[in-house]
Structure 1
Amino acid sequence: MKCLHIYSSPDGESHIGEVEAPQLENIMFGIPTKISSMYAAEGVQFITVAPSDKDLDYHNPPTRVLCIVLSGRMEFQVSDGDVRMINPGDVALIEDTEGKGHIARHPDGLTVAFIRVPMGLST
């Protein structure tokens, strides 16, 4: 499973890439299934944000998080100029905890789940 990946390079610039959460073929209850490894989590937070056209400043997450969009759309812009949109069901690993950070936009409003993850899903 591919996830959007927001990270900082040693020069402090933020970038967007992809990271793979490997899944193995399996059968569960007679149904073909793909299953990843179990990743540790430190907590889950649900956030609902009202629609806004306001452009927020660049910021860094306080800790490494998996962001899962539950409803709405979320657009990320990183300091190298790259912009990507994620939709409901999409997952982003956000780990630019240092450096210039990123901008997150949500013109239609959204609900997300932030899951604090210490390690795993690394490039």
Structure 2
Amino acid sequence: MKCLRIYATSDGESHFDEIELPTTKRPVHPDAVPFDVTASYLASRVRFTHIPTGMREVAWHTVPEPVLTVRLDGSVEYETSDGEVRHVQAGSFVLVEDTHGKGHLSRHSPEAQTVIWISLPNGLDLPPA
């Protein structure tokens, strides 16, 4: 399973990357048919965010901790400090890890949006086995 990632290098510049989340086929409850499931990752907080209609561009910013954002509706265009731009549709998730440096720009679609923010203190590093 692929995940878009925004991260910062030691010089403070932000970039995109795509990471592969390993999955295994397994049931999620005893009577379920097996399907692809990732490992469990440590999350410290979940927030539900409503971005109002007309909120277009958010200035350069970083995140205080690694956050997995899950876009339920609307869309966003992210720009990293190296000039690359990616468009993210509803139903997508992005790991945002640029906790230092210049950060990234967010350009939101005109309609209101709902986004779930899941704080991941260790990012998507696999827990010890």
Q: Give your verdict on TM over 0.5.
A: yes
Q: 4+ runs of 1 displaced by more than 3 Å?
A: 27-30
Aligned to 1:12: 12
Deviation of residue 25 (structure 1)?
1.8
Unaligned runs of 5+ in 1: none
Q: Does the Cα contact within 8 Å between 2:57 and 2:108 map onto a contact in 1?
A: no
Corresponding residue of 2:75: 73
1:120 CA displacement: 4.3
Q: Offset at 1:117? A: 0.3
**Which shows bigger deviation, 11-20 or 21-30?**
21-30
One of 67, 89, 110 as aligned partner of 2:113:
110
How many residues align? The count is: 122
Q: Partner amino acid for 2:68?
A: L
> Which range is displaced more, 101-110 or 21-30?
21-30
Question: Is structure 2 residue 117 aligned with structure 1 residue 82?
Answer: no
Q: Which residue of 1 aligns with 2:96?
A: 94
Q: Distance in 2 between matches of 1:19 and 1:52?
A: 32
Q: CA deviation at 1:30?
A: 5.0
Identity %, equivalent residues: 39
1:102 partner amino acid? H
